[in-house]
Amino acid sequence: MITFENVSKAFEGVKAIDDLSLTITQGEFTVVIGASGSGKSSALKMINRLLEHDSGRILFAGREIRSFKPEELRRRMGYAIQSIGLFPHWTVEQNIATVPNLLQWPRSRTRDRVTELMETLQLPPEVYRHRYPHQLSGGQQQRVGVARALAGDPDMLLMDEPFGALDPVTRAALQQEIARIHDASGKTIVLVTHDIDEALRLADRIVVLDRGRVVQVGSPREILSSPANDFVADFVGRSDVGVKLLGLYTVAACLRPGDVAPGPPIASAASLREALSAFVARQVDRIPVVDEQGRPVGVIALADLLRLRL
Ligand SMILES: Nc1ncnc2c1ncn2[C@@H]1O[C@H](COP(=O)(O)OP(=O)(O)OP(=O)(O)O)[C@@H](O)[C@H]1O
Ligand SMILES: [Mg+2]
């Protein structure tokens, strides 16, 4: 869907993006990670021409992006930026409705869409619809930014640390919501973060940037189990690779169906990392497992977990 071919970009003679080649596949959830200053935001901004590349080619749907009008790119690609960037003199409703209004949707359709997105992003419409950005907390503003990016139902979503200012609970809820939106819509999503756990949770593919260059592209499992170099190994955290790998799998992958065990159950959709934590916290070696409806489906055994080939 998006291809970078040998793209470079310098600021005052210093390369922020250095000979970057990368393909972002349609329908995939791509997460770009890297240290501060590695060029993540710059790479993202070049996709919708907020920043022009100096050399190389960037293709969108097979065409060099310079041949698209910037307005067209921005309508087709929802964009939620790091610094929020809401229009200060517009209400929450007007901010979220930016693209629907540009597209001249009927008023009732736009209103319904705003209501739906505010509910999805846990901003009760009756409380927040008519507020202005300065009357919101940082995390609420960020959620309005995400709602605005989603509003016009774009082909592609570009998100630059969209959950940075959120507490862990709200953050986890919104990560789950974005994952659900991705599963349901099959949209192409590119999300920038420096949180490796967020990357592992959401990504189909992870792109690791270092000083404007791609150092590795791979699935979460590949990045964890075969880091390309010391930089990637340090970035993903050498000491807890094992538990992070367990975090990629669910209890369902390690189930003894039909068995029974005493004690409070764990959900089959919980991660094996949570299961390991439960084994340690409870000092047991078998835990009953239930499905989404709370029905018993079997048992998870610590011994099986240790024998798994991840
Ligand atoms: N408008 C600009 N003018 C000059 N230098 C810039 C500009 N934008 C970015 N840079 C420089 O380019 C490099 C990459 O910046 P970029 O914002 O892409 O990094 P990042 O990976 O998004 O970092 P962070 O995690 O801190 O957001 C940095 O060294 C930055 O100082
Ligand atoms: Mg950035």
Convert the pLDDT of each residue in 270-294 to its tens digit.
999 999 999 999 999 999 999 999 9
Residues flanking ligand 1, CB < 6 Å: 11, 16, 34, 36-42, 82, 194
Shortest-distance Cα residue to atom 2 of ligand 1: 11
Phi-psi region of 8 (alpha: psi -120 to 50; beta: other; left: phi over 0): beta
How far apart are the CA of 253 and the centre of ligand 2, in A? 36
pLDDT band at residue 83 using 50, 70 and 90 as cut-offs: low
Ligand having the closest approach to the CA of 38: 1
Output the pLDDT for position 138. Answer: 83
The CATH class of the 249-307 domain is alpha beta
Ligand 1 atom at minimal distance to the Cα of residue 43: 18
Q: In this structure, how many other beta carbons lie within 10 angstroms of the beta carbon of residue 122?
A: 13
For CATH 3.40.50.300, list the domain ranges present in the chain: 2-236
User: For a substitution probing ligand 1, which of 42, 54, 210 has the most ligand atoms within 8 Å of its CB?
Assistant: 42
CB neighbour class for 138 (10 Å; exposed up to 12, middle 13-18, buried from 19): exposed
Distance of CA 273 to the CA centre of its chain: 20
Instruction: Round to whole Å and give the CA distance between 184 and 195.
Output: 24
The model carries a pTM of 0.88
3 state SS of 153: coil
pLDDT tens per residue, range 151-173: 998 989 999 998 887 888 888 88
Ligand having the closest approach to the CA of 39: 1
The CATH class of the 2-236 domain is alpha beta
For CATH 3.90.1280.20, list the domain ranges present in the chain: 249-307
Ligand 1 atom at minimal distance to the Cα of residue 41: 22
